Amino acid sequence: MNQAVLILIKPDGLKKSLTGNILTRLSETKLEIIAAKMVRVSQELACEHYKHLKGKPFFNDLIKYLQGELHDRKKVMALVYWGPEAIKKCRELAGATNPEEAESTSIRGSYGRITTSGVYENVIHVSSDVTEAEREIKLWFNPEEIIVDLYSIKSVEEKKKLAVWA
């Protein structure tokens, strides 16, 4: 059965010019990209994304890391990949959370590092299960930004000013 998975190319991946490399590695999976964008990560978004790690000693540094404050790159690339066993395939390619433990040929094993303050700079985020993927995809993307109807939607009336090309 097809699954969706959220991938983030984290600020260290962008700074190290690994975007093309990571996308090439992910293309080995033969999965489909169904959404992609660059995102400036607010503190609120970073904290919500990593809320399962609140209270960990590295939490504050992790939030700064995702916001790009450690790499002078205040953005991440967010993508949704879709297809059979998408989560398992992408997690396998990414490798273990700790880049020192990740298989050396995996993305994290090839390009990740542990900082002196103990944060795992592991260049890529991959959702770890179907429930987490749904929560994360809904956090990072609006329904109209995804070209496959993944989850049920509803219509709401919203009056707000939009920026359009002048």
Binding of ligand UDP at residue 15 (CB under 6 A)? Answer: no
Q: Which is nearer to ligand UDP, 35 or 119 (CB)?
A: 119
CA distance 58 to 39: 23
Non-local (6+) Cβ contacts of 41 within 8 A are 66, 67, 68, 74, 75, 76
Binding of ligand UDP at residue 125 (CB under 6 A)? Answer: yes
- Within residues 29-48, the interface with ligand UDP by CB under 6 A covers none
Binding of ligand UDP at residue 119 (CB under 6 A)? Answer: yes
Binding of ligand UDP at residue 97 (CB under 6 A)? Answer: yes
CA distance 162 to 63: 29
How would you class 36 by CB atoms within 10 Å of its CB: exposed for 0-12, middle for 13-18, buried for 19 or more?
A: middle
Q: Which is nearer to ligand UDP, 89 or 125 (CB)?
A: 125
Q: Which is nearer to ligand UDP, 29 or 108 (CB)?
A: 108
Give catalytic residue positions.
125
Number of other residues whose CB lies within 10 A of the CB of residue 150: 20
Q: Would you say 108 and 123 are in contact if contact means Cβ atoms under 8 Å apart?
A: yes
Q: Which is nearer to Mg ion, 78 or 161 (CB)?
A: 78
DSSP assignment, residue 78?
E
Binding of Mg ion at residue 128 (CB under 5 A)? Answer: yes
Binding of ligand UDP at residue 120 (CB under 6 A)? Answer: yes
* Shortest separation between residue 47's beta carbon and Mg ion, angstroms: 14
Candidates 13-21, 30-38, 115-123, 154-162: pick the segment binding ligand UDP (CB under 6 A). Answer: 115-123
